[in-house]
A and B are shown apart, each in its own frame.
Chain A
Amino acid sequence: MARLPRWVSQHLAALRALLVLTAVTGILYPLAVLAVAQLPGLDHKAEGSLVYDEDGAVVGSSLLGQSFTDEDGNAIAAYFQSRPSMAAGENGDYDPLVSGASNLGPESVVDALPDPALGWDGDELATKSLLTQVCERSYAIGEREGVDGSRPYCTESGAGAVGAVLGVFYAEGTTGDVVRVVSLNEACDAVAAPFLAEYEGVPVECAVYGEDYAAAIVTPVEGDASGEPAVPADAVTASGSGLDPHISPEYAELQTARVAAERGASTEDVEALVEEHTTGRFLGFMGDPAVNVVELNLALDSVFPAGDEAGPVG
C-alpha cells in the first residue's frame, strides 16, 4: 500500500484522536454522570426538581419561576407575584424555552414613542426604555399593594408612569442658555401636560411623534421621591434567566397582607408560611436571602385554598 502524504496521515490521526476523545468525554462521561444521578436523593433533582399534584401530574419545577397571572397578564390577588420576566414565549412569561434577560443598559432612559395611529401594541418600532419599564412596574405594584409606588427618576404620567427624562437644547449645542426643553417620554397625545411645567425658566413641551430630538442633551430628573422606595428592587427588575423562582423577603412582606386577606387567612399564618419558604444566605455569606414563590404559592393552595371568588386585583 502506498504511504499517504504526511499532511493526510496527520489529519487522519487527528480525526481518530477526536473520535476516541468523543467516545470518552461525549458518551462515557455524561452517561456515567447520568448513572450516578439515578441514585436515590439525586434522581429527583436530575429530573428537574419537578413538583407533582396529588394526581401525579406535573405542576412545575421548584427551581423554575412561574407567573401567577390571569389570561390577560393581570396579577391574581390570591398568589404571591413573581419578578418581571423577559422569558416571554408562546405560553406567556417564565417560558423555559426562551430563557433570557432584557439586556437593557443602565442609561436606557428614552422611549421610542409609538405612532399615535398604531399605539404601543401596534407599532413594532416603539420600545419602552428600561427606566420607563421600572417606573411602570413600580407604580402598578404600589397601587396593587396600597403603598407609595414612586421612586427616583420616575413620574406618574397619563394613565401610568414613565421615566422622568428631559431633552434639553442649549444655545451652543452642549453649552450656553437653555433654549428648548422636551419631556422625551411623554407623547402629546398621551398626557394633558408634561410632568414638569418649566426647566431653568423654559416651559417644558410634550414630545411629538416623529420629531428628531437627537440634538438635545438627555437629562433625567431625579424628582423628590424617597431614595428608599416602598417597592423593593427585585420587584421592578427582570432577572437574568427570566426564570428566577425567587423574590426578596422584602417583596414577600409587601404582598403578605393582600394574599392573607384574599385567602381569608391571618397575616401571621401567611407570614409563617413565607418564613418556611425563605432560604437565608448559605453559610451566612453566599448569595442573598430569597423566598421561593413557586413553592410558597403551592403551599398556600394546600393550606389555605382560595375561594372561587378570588380574582384579579383592582
Chain B
Amino acid sequence: MGDTTAGVIFIAAMVAALAATYRPLGDYLYRVVTRERHYKVERGIYRVIGARPETEQHWAGYARSVLAFSAVSVLLLYGLQRLQHFLPLSLGFPGVDPYVSWNTAVSFVANTNWQAYSGESTMGHLVQTGGLAVQNFVSAAVGMAVAVVLVRGFARKATDRLGNFWVDLVRITVWVLLPIAAVGAVVLVLGGAIQNFGEVTQAVTATGDTQSITGGAVASQEAIKELGTNGGGFFNANSAHPFENPTSWTNFVEVYLILMIPVALPRTFGRIVGDDRQGYAIIAVMGVLALASITAVLGFESLGNGTVPQAVTAAMEGKEVRFGVEDSSLFAAATTLTSTGAVNSFHDSFTSFGGGVLMLNMMFGEVAPGGVGGGLYGMLVLAVIAVFVAGLMVGRTPEYLGKKIGAREIKLASMYFLVTPVLVLVGVATAFLLPSNMDSLQEAGPHGLSELLYAFTSASNNNGSAFGGFGANTPWFNTALGLCMLFGRFIPIILVLALAGSLARQRPVPASAGTLPTHRPLFVGMVVGVTLVLVALTFLPVLALGPLAEGLQ
C-alpha cells in the first residue's frame, strides 16, 4: 500500500470513529448538562464549595464565577511552581522562575498549554499531576460550560437565568472528562505509555553508555491532555516522546481523543435547541473546513516541497519513523484545528506551506471543530455573523434559531471575532519594536517571521503548539504571550456570556416565509464562506510575508 493511501484510510477510519460517537456522546453530554436532579455525591461537593445548585445565575454572575475560579487557579498554580522545592515529589528541581511560572499558570488555566519550559527538567511530580493536570480537566470544563450557556441562550425564552457555573463545572468534570480520560489512560498504558511516580532510572546500555530513563504519571496526563484539547506535554518532546505516544495505534487513539468531544458538541447543541438538524448543519460547516485543511496539510507534507525536504526526499525532519510523514501531518492538522497544541512532530520543520496551513487553522479561531467548548461557541458566533450578512443581502432583520440578531448581538459577535486578530497582529508588531526580541528568532528571513507569527497566533488562540526553534523563554515573551493567552481566552468568554444573556432575554419570533433556514446546505455554505472571507482578509497580508514568501522562493 502506498503511503498516501494509508494516510487517506487513516482519515476515513477517523471520520467513521467520530461519526460512531457523534450521537451517543452528544446525547450523553446533553443529559449531563440538562439533568434536573442532583446526585447525592454532587450535593456533597456543592456543600463543600458552598454553592446553591438550585439557584441559576444570570450572565454576569456566571461570568464572575468563571473569572473567580480562573483567578484562583492561576494564583494556586503560580504558587505551586514557585514553591515546588518546599513541596514533596519535587524530584529535586528548584522553584520555577517567576516569569515562567506566570506564563505557565496562565497558559494552563487558559486551556492553551503553551510551554516556555521543558517538562522533564523543570516540573516535579506534584506540579505536573496536582497542578498542571488538574487544569487540564477544569479549564476544559470551563470551556464546555461557557458553550452550553450560549446554547441555553438560544434555547431559553424571556429569562435572565442561564444555569449555575458550579453545577456545570462539577458535572462536566466528573461525569464527562473523568471517565473518558480514565479509560483513555489505561488504553495508553496498554500501548506503552508510562504511569509511575518513580525517579530517574539509570540504565547502562550495550555500548557502556549511561541513559537516564525518566518516570512520571504520564498516561493519566496524556489522556486528559488530548481529551480536554489542552496539549501541554509531560515531556519537552510532547506526543512525539515514546513514553507519551508509543505506537502508531496510540497515535490514532490520541487523535481520536482530541476530536471526540468537539465533534460531539454540535449534537448536544441540536438537542438543547430542540432541533437535531441545527446540530448537523454546524458539524457540516466544521467538517468541510476540517477536511479541506487536513487534505492540504497531508498534501503539502507528502509532496515535500522546499530545499531541505527535496534534499532529504521527504519532509522527515522532526518526525518519528513509527508515525511517518502522513500520520504526523494528520496529528498536526488535528491539533491546530482544535485548541490542543499537542504535537507528535515538530511544526517548525514542516514544509513552508504545510506549516502555513497549520497557522491558518489557528487563525480560523479554531472552530473546525475547535477546542472543547471553545470550538462550538466560536462557530456559533460565526453563524450569527453569517446570518447577519445574509440578512443584509435581502434587507430583513436577521434571526437565528428564532432569536433576532439586533445591534447588541452583532456588536458582541463582532468584538468576539476581533479579539484574536488584534492580539496577534498588534503582538507581532510590538515584538518587532524591541530589537533584543530578534534574538529569539532562530532563523532569518521569512521563516523567522513565521516563528514569531506562529507564537502569537498560538498563544492568542489558546492553541499552545509552537515553531519550537523560537526562543520564547525570555521575560518579555513570557509576559507578552501570557497576556495574549489571558485576553485571548477570557475576553471572548465574557463576550459569549453577554451574548447568551441578551439572546435568552428575547422571546422567539415565529419562523415565516422570509426566515433563512439554518439547517440547509445553503446556510452551511454561507458560514463556510463568511469564515474564509473574514479570516483571509484579516491574515493574508502577514501570511504572505511569512510562510507564503518562504514557500514561493
Contacts and interface: CB of A to CB of B under 8 A. Distances in A.
Contact of A233 (B186, B314, B447): B314
B306 A107 contact: yes
A182 to B, nearest CB: 16
A22 B134 CA distance: 6
Contact of B321 (A10, A26, A218, A239): A239
A101 B346 contact: yes
B131 A42 contact: no
A64 interface: yes
Contact of B237 (A18, A32, A243): A243
Among B6, B311, B324, B328: residue with most chain A CB under 10 A: B311
A46 B189 contact: yes
A60 B220 contact: no
Contacts of B71: 11, 14
A243 B237 CA distance: 9
A20 interface: yes
Interface string A85-120: 001010110111111111111111100000000000
A13 B200 CA distance: 39
Interface string A17-32: 1101110111101101
22 contacts: A10-B68, A13-B49, A13-B50, A14-B73, A17-B49, A22-B130, A33-B186, A33-B189, A34-B196, A50-B203, A64-B211, A100-B468, A101-B349, A103-B467, A104-B442, A163-B311, A239-B240, A240-B345, A244-B322, A282-B248, A287-B327, A298-B206
B10 A285 contact: yes
Interface in B102-156: 118, 120-121, 129-131, 133-134, 137-138
Contact of A96 (B120, B206, B550): B120
B468 A281 contact: no
Interface of A: 7, 9-18, 20-22, 24-27, 29-30, 32-34, 36-37, 42, 45-50, 57-61, 63-70, 76, 79, 83, 87, 89, 91-92, 94-109, 130-131, 134-135, 151-154, 163, 218, 220, 222, 227-229, 233-234, 236-248, 279, 281-288, 290, 297-298, 301
Interface string B446-479: 1100100000000000000001111000000000
B205 A34 contact: no
B72 A18 contact: yes
Contact of B202 (A58, A236, A301): A58
Given A106-B349, A227-B313, A286-B249, A58 B204 contact: yes
B23 to A, nearest CB: 25
Contacts of A67: 207, 209
B506 interface: no
The 10 closest A-B pairs by CB, nearest first: A287-B248, A288-B324, A106-B306, A240-B240, A103-B469, A99-B237, A241-B237, A101-B346, A246-B321, A103-B348
A234 B321 contact: yes
A42 to B, nearest CB: 5
B212 to A, nearest CB: 5
Nearest to B119: A99
B364 interface: no
B72 A15 contact: yes
B215 interface: yes
Contacts of A279: 322
A241 B241 contact: yes
Interface in B415-457: 442-443, 445-447, 450
B323 A91 contact: no
Contacts of A14: 65, 68-69, 71-73
Contacts of A100: 118, 236-237, 468
Nearest to A17: B49
Interface stretch (B177-185, B290-298, B486-494): B177-185
A236 B550 CA distance: 23
A297 B323 CA distance: 22
A59 B468 CA distance: 31
Contact of B120 (A33, A58, A99): A99
B316 interface: yes
A108 B308 contact: yes
A20 B189 contact: no
Interface string B44-85: 010011110000000000001100110111001000000000
A153 B131 contact: no
Among B235, B319, B467: residue with most chain A CB under 10 A: B319
Contacts of B246: 49, 63
B101 interface: no
Nearest to B445: A107
B217 interface: yes
Given A97-B200, A98-B118, A105-B450, 11 more contacts: A14-B71, A18-B134, A25-B133, A25-B178, A26-B131, A36-B186, A48-B214, A99-B118, A101-B468, A134-B311, A287-B327
A105 B549 CA distance: 14
B317 interface: yes
A228 B237 contact: no
